[in-house]
Amino acid sequence: MRIERELMRGAGPVAVLKLLESGPKYGYELVTSLAEQGEGILDMGQSTLYPMLYNLEAQGFIKASWEEGETGRQRKYYSLTPNGKKRLSNSVEQWRALAKAFSGLGILEEGTKKRPALGGASS
């Protein structure tokens, strides 16, 4: 399933910040982690990821540094800043509130078990 651009625009940065919470990563590592851990739903190419990284860096949520990778080659690693940790925490709260609201509407699986469908009067 391919996620619409507008949804990905909101979900992508949160996913990147979450991945960086565990430690610094370079671009390609983020691309593969998003694809694998996001079950293919958050799969994005480098042409989508790098502008997102530059934007997050410009906002002060991540910082970049050049370091030697496992192969001895210089790689640009991205890491979470203290402001990025705050942003991640705030974003997670917002996504949880949204998921709860969607559950209440019966959009998510949990919600369909708890409430009847909208507008559905029982007969």
Per-residue pLDDT of the chain (123 residues; tens, 9 = 90+): 777 888 888 899 999 999 999 999 999 999 999 999 988 888 888 999 999 999 999 999 999 999 998 889 999 999 999 999 999 999 999 999 999 999 999 998 753 444 444 444 444
**Domain extents for the chain?**
5-102
Rounded to two decimals, what is the model's pTM? 0.81
Distance separating alpha carbons of residues 53 and 19, to the nearest angstrom = 12
Domain 5-102: state its class: mainly alpha
Residue type, 96: R
